[in-house]
Each structure stands twice: as structure tokens, then as C-alpha cells.
Structure 1
Amino acid sequence: MRLQKFPKIHADWLSKTFAGVFLGFAFSVCIGAIVTVLSFTRMEAVLAPQMGMWTIPWIWCPLLFLAYFIPRGWQAIVIYSLATMLAYILLLLLRG
């Protein structure tokens, strides 16, 4: 039986770190804003920003961790950039 070959994970840590830290943070802040916008109708107005604020590290830390498992650094930057753009478009649509 042959073992399946997986793509090699390259050690271009600088671009992966950039993607995880900056683009992952931008994405997680946007998700926190989406959670805040959606929480205003379901909970008190005082608690909704806290809910959005505390979702940021729960999104950002796994994104920073997962950036190093993407095979190439430029792929991590493209994936995180597209995800961030889609999240901000969704936020703009929700805010009206």
C-alpha cells in the first residue's frame, strides 16, 4: 500500500506570521463587530459590545495558529485577505 503524499509545508514564517497577526486580527475584529451588531437585538445594549469584544481572541488565536499549517506564505495571505474582505462586506451589508 502506498502512502499518500501531502504537500510540503514551507518555512516562510515571515509571511505566515504577517497573515496570522495582521490579517487574522483584522478578520477577528470584523467578526467581533458582526457579533456586536447581531447581539444588539438579542441582549441588553450594555452587554452587546462586551460580547463582541470577547469574541476577538477566540477567533484570532486559532487563526494565528492555523496560518502556519497553510503550505505557502502567499497562500495564507491570499486566504486571509479574501476572508477579511468577505467579512467586511458582510458587516457593511448588516449595518445597512
Structure 2
Amino acid sequence: MTLKTGRRETLSRDWLSKTLAGVIGGFGLAIAASGLLACLTPGALDEQNKFQVAMWLVPPVWIGVMSGSFVFRSGRRAWIGLAAANALGFAMLALARHFFIR
């Protein structure tokens, strides 16, 4: 892809780093989202169905985050952004478990 400045910019810059960030960071975010769903929906579904829905939430979230990891400008930014999102997700899960599970 040629930019207006005449520089040649490739779309595949840092693709390996972005892919690994998406795979690892996406899995963590998917697990945090699944845990939040299971924790924040007490009584909404019976126990078996609630955990089944939480389990099936993991692949779509994981794939979505993996796909979104290529939007970052560099692999380093992907790692930093997904690490921050994971920290926030697991902090929210810890707070939810602390306040909602007795």
C-alpha cells in the first residue's frame, strides 16, 4: 500500500507480535469475560445452563480480540493495550467475586 508521502507502508508490520498478543491477551480477556458473566448473573439461569453459556462465551470473545489485535499500530502497542485490558478485566472479576459471591 502506497501512502501519499511516497513511503511504502506494509500491513504486515509486527504481525507475529500482534498475533501472539491477540492469542494470549485474547484468551485472558475471554476467560475474564466468562467469569464475569458467571459471577454477575446469579439466579438468571440455573447453574448448569449459566456455566454452559459462560463456557461458550470464550471462543467468540477470543476470536474477536485476536482479530482486533491487528488494529494496533505495532506489536508493542498490542501487548500493552491487551495487558492493560486483561488487568482491568481480572480486577473487575476479583471485585465481582469479592462482592457478589458469598
Kindly report which structure 2 residues correspond to 1:1-96, keeping only aligned pairs within 5 A, or say none: 11-96=13-98
1:10 and 1:86 map into 2 onto residues whose CA distance is 28
TM-score (norm 1): 0.86
CA contact (8 A) 1:30 1:91 kept: yes
Larger Rg: 2
Q: Which has the higher contact order (CA 8 A, sep 6+)?
A: 1
1:41, distance to aligned residue in structure 2 (A): 2.4
Structure 1, gaps ≥5 residues long: none
Q: Distance in 1 between matches of 2:59 and 2:48?
A: 20
The one-letter code sitting in structure 2 at the alignment partner of 1:44 is D
State how many pairs are aligned: 91
* Superposed CA RMSD: 1.8
Q: Identity across aligned pairs (percent)?
A: 26
How far the C-alpha of 1:10 sits from its partner, in A, is 5.8
| Alignment check: 8 A CA contact 1:30 1:87 kept | yes
Which secondary structure state, in structure 2, belongs to the residue aligned with residue 28 of structure 1? Answer: helix
* d(CA) in 2 for partners of 1:11, 1:20: 15
Q: Which runs of 4+ in 1 moved over 6 A?
A: none
Rounded to whole Å, the distance in 2 between the matches of 1:74 and 1:10 is: 14
In structure 2, the gaps of 5 or more residues are none
**How high is the TM-score relative to the length of structure 2?**
0.81
- SS of the equivalent of 2:47 reads coil
